[in-house]
Structure 1
């Protein structure tokens, strides 16, 4: 039996000690001495969140299929254990072997959202690895980042040796082979980084120089040496049906956020919503063969004991074999007590028919994401939903027996005005009216409509990457406008309204489009005790604002100004497939309130046609 890194005394003191002991069902155990490469795979949040992340499950399975690699997992310790580890100088450890992360060859960190940046520093710090990449020696692991936030890696550039841009299934084998050659050669640390920088999708911040203009914007972003690529191209899996996928996924000891089998049916999205970063960076849409998915469903349910299976996709309704797949899942598994979860569906007749078969409609609620209250603003963001379609879908749902509806919107969108904000409440009221038009004897009690609004954050590689944000007071005023409008509605007793924290939104906006200069502020915030910033009860906005002030950073520079179209962005060295010209055209279309058709209806010349095999086979631009 392996010896745990934490003593029984410590385990008894901390909350949920099962987070730290490993040995879960389907975890992989190897002899560390037999592995040429040891890789610690980190999700920089608490265990329950990290265990729900599909990307880590895929890479964990893929890496461990190599005999020469042993991939283990590590998550952010909760503050109670964080304090003990600092006081007692206990190094952060991997779950499988309980060995110290600092003794591994790689520490890989998935960067899923901006509010985990201080947790990334927590992981590096507790691992007792030098915080800055430039200070590390041959005895330290190489710290590599990936995930959606790696599409603007610059705020974290000082802390990472490498970033992987794109989907991890493609270039990691080449990176591991390169590492083994380097290790045998006896070269210094920078020698490996130089070689790695030439592998497609790998970005090494130390090998690039950034210069700035007097106004604080970027003047130039250039490689420091010959042979280092000026552009780093994202890597994509084009044959989804043959790509690696874990059929024995890890099963957590304690309840995770998503405690179920996840069946990834496709990647990418045809819709082209102008606010959505995932819809742009994961283009083109690539589907998995339905027969492959049927086999996966069998094996994954058998190998985990889970009682729920969820279809994973940015827009499940656009999967071309959805009807066949869902019918199969219902017929094969519903009778065995397996629940079927269908997120990201458009509410149409087919979807409602399916959901009526897999959900208890008296308990469940339906989710609509109109994103904007008015048709004008939905056209600006290219949502592709009309009020008629929304009301028709809600009506069919009510006729089918549902009475609970959740509506998701954004506030602070480009060109938004007070009428657009009030339209959120008015649309909710129209949906309630549609419910009460049903004869009383056919209703399931009172209609319950929950409105939730988040505040819009412009993200890299979206048409809105040039857009300005607003001070937090503006966002709160928007929310109060909606709240007041809800109270004015005829069916106000049927409508509940919740809104997001405005100060978190402003910070997210700073980090999302920031540059390398932000690194010192992120470090200062961590030194002041900021961790788990995504958790509302842990977030300390005052400490963040003090950190900006102490490091000479003006947050308003990153949020309150509209960017000129010719500005060099910190992420412009990345080739994400979609071209800057396409994004500029879409920004102009947004300001003109002009809708762009989806990728199945027409090719809009976005640039991803060069990746052969997706929905967009040929870029006609």
Structure 2
């Protein structure tokens, strides 16, 4: 039997909260598949506010990949603001998905995408509201399998007590493997209960099941040994890496929000990984090796995204987009295609040493010049050397001078405070560099 929607209980309390539209679903390109049509049902949680979570590329990719399968469905959920959380507790409304307003506890798998560690506590709030035991050891077959992924799940130990599985690395392929395991286990009559399911998942490449490892400690409190609790459990887990990005042109149909979100644009990932080796950058280390999307692949994705969404801006995303080996051809081809239209192109923050004014002019050829963004990260050359961000102030000033001479009028600079070995002089140099 398909579970009933919680919306009849949710709707009466929505007029009492801020921005109720973020909880009603129905966005452009969202999907609602019949519950009974799927053997495996995923709730995909982005553990932050809707306006931050909806544009997230990772969730949108997995949402489409899973819903393309005939034997699976995926619905989305986000962290609720404290005003709605209080009313949900008062009214007995459980955590819900925004697509069909099914209770999170009714799904087979709760997949949570951790972009940052700040999402950890929001997962616990979602579990608590859903009536799912916080600790993995207290769950049984009636509860969803909690699968954590994303950059902040790469070291899953801080949340090891609360998640059943951590999927390490890229998610496009591993979610299909997890779906296969759960489907087969259900079709076979759930043999061996929840532990058998976890054992099967532990043998899936990229899947780490914390509860299936025994940890012993030395007298000084350091870890002495980590031992698999079953012969089927691998001694170590290797991350998953999606090699051919052109084989995974997702999202094909970007979600178009009804409420305001932090990014109102279509986003196309032009390559994954980075070789720069900046010492503060987690993503640059864990997403190696560099894998580029082809010139044709990027063009097809941009065209599909614009046609499917109606967005008038397309972001060409990566950790350092100007480092793509064909970035000049990509930007010129797209600028030619969309010249004279209302569709603009944008690059995320760009390394000064990979930037050139020709690239900027191609991006802004249709007349929009919103500004350039660079990330020196440190104010002084000394602190930039500490973090391996080898950008000189002379290079930055030369680039800005050239941009201003070409008609640009706004530059945004990103800096960080609190870096190792930082002094007050390093921080003051942020203001000095900006002034110069």
Listed one character per residue, the Cα deviations across residues 465-496 of structure 1 (whole Å, up to 9, x for unaligned) are xxxxxxxxxxxxxxxxxxxxxxxxxxxxxxxx
| Cα offset, 1:360, TM superposition | 4.1
Q: Quick one: which of 190, 194, 205 aligns to 2:195?
A: 190
Name the CA shift for 1:352/1:341 in 2 (closer, same or farther; >3 Å): closer
Partner of 1:409: 415
> Which of 374, 377, 380 is the aligned partner of 2:380?
374
Among 228, 235, 242, which residue is 2:233 paired with?
228
The structure-2 alpha-carbon separation of the partners of 1:358 and 1:386, relative to structure 1 and needing over 3 Å to count, comes to farther
Specify which of 273, 276, 285 is matched with residue 271 of structure 1: 276
Equivalent residue, structure 2, for 1:470: none
Residue in 2 that maps onto 1:95: 98
Retained in 1: the 8 A contact 2:344–2:368?
A: no
Q: Please state how far the C-alpha of 1:244 moved relative to its aligned partner.
A: 4.3
| 8 Å contact from structure 1 (residues 345, 351) kept in 2 | no
Ranges in structure 1 where 5+ consecutive residues have no aligned partner: 431-621
Query: CA 1:5–1:252 in structure 2 vs 1: closer, same or farther (change >3 Å)?
Result: farther
Tell me which residue corresponds to 2:365.
Answer: 357
1:488 maps to what in 2? none
* Paired position in structure 1 for 2:265: 260
- Identify which of 237, 247, 250 aligns with 1:245: 250
Indicate the residue corresponding to 1:155 in structure 2: 158
- The 5 A counterparts of 1:324-473 are 324-346=329-351, 347-358=355-366, 360-361=368-369, 364-430=370-436
Equivalents in 2 of 1:425, 1:163: separation in Å? 42
Greater Cα offset, 403-412 or 88-97: 403-412
Distance 1:9 1:172, change over 3 A: closer
Larger of the two Rg values belongs to structure: 1
* Larger relative contact order (Cα-Cα within 8 Å, sequence gap ≥ 6): 1
Change (3 A) 1:214 1:267: same
Deviations 1:256-297 (A, max 9, x none): 111111111000012111111100000111001111211111
In 1, distance between residues paired with 2:96 and 2:342?
38
Distance 1:367 1:303 in 2: 28
Q: Secondary structure at the match of 1:84?
A: helix
* Alignment-derived partner of residue 446 in structure 1: none
Deviation at residue 173 of structure 1 after TM alignment:
1.9
Structure 2: runs of 5 or more not aligned: none
Distance in 1 between the 2:50 and 2:250 partners?
21
Q: State yes or no: 1:44 paired with 2:47.
A: yes
Q: Deviations over 1:328-359 (max 9, x none)?
A: 22222242211211113234222332355256
Residues 80, 267 of structure 1: alpha-carbon distance in 2 compared, 3 angstrom cutoff: same
Contact kept in structure 2, 1:42 and 1:73, CA below 8 Å? yes
Query: Which one of the candidate residues 296, 317, 324 is aligned to 1:312?
Result: 317
Check the 8 A contact 1:311/1:341 in 2, yes or no: yes
1:15 paired residue number? 18
Q: CA deviation at 1:121?
A: 0.5
What SS class does the counterpart of residue 365 from structure 2 fall into?
helix
Q: Secondary structure at the match of 2:246?
A: coil
CA shift in 2, pair 1:34/1:76, >3 Å: same
Distance 2:434 2:22 in 1: 41
Contact 1:18 1:253 in 2 (8 A): yes
Q: Structure 1 stretch 211-220 or stretch 228-237: which is displaced more? A: 211-220
Shift of 1:5: 4.5
Distance 2:5 2:88 in 1: 20
In the TM superposition, residue 2 of structure 1 has moved relative to its aligned partner by 7.5
Q: Supply the RMSD in Å over aligned alpha carbons.
A: 1.9
Counterpart-to-counterpart distance in 2, 1:393 and 1:372? 17
Deviation at 1:306, TM superposition (A): 1.0
2:215 match: secondary structure: strand
Q: CA deviation at 1:299?
A: 1.5
- Partner Cα distance (1:239, 1:341) in 2: 24
Q: What's the offset of the Cα at 1:214?
A: 4.3
Which TM-score applies when normalising by structure 1? 0.66
Q: 1:397 to 1:216 in 2, by over 3 A?
A: farther
Shifted more, 220-229 versus 317-326: the winner is 220-229
Q: Select the residue among 104, 108, 114 that pairs with 2:107.
A: 104
Return closer, same or farther for 1:134/1:3 CA change in 2, 3 Å cut-off.
closer
* Length-normalised TM-score, structure 2: 0.93
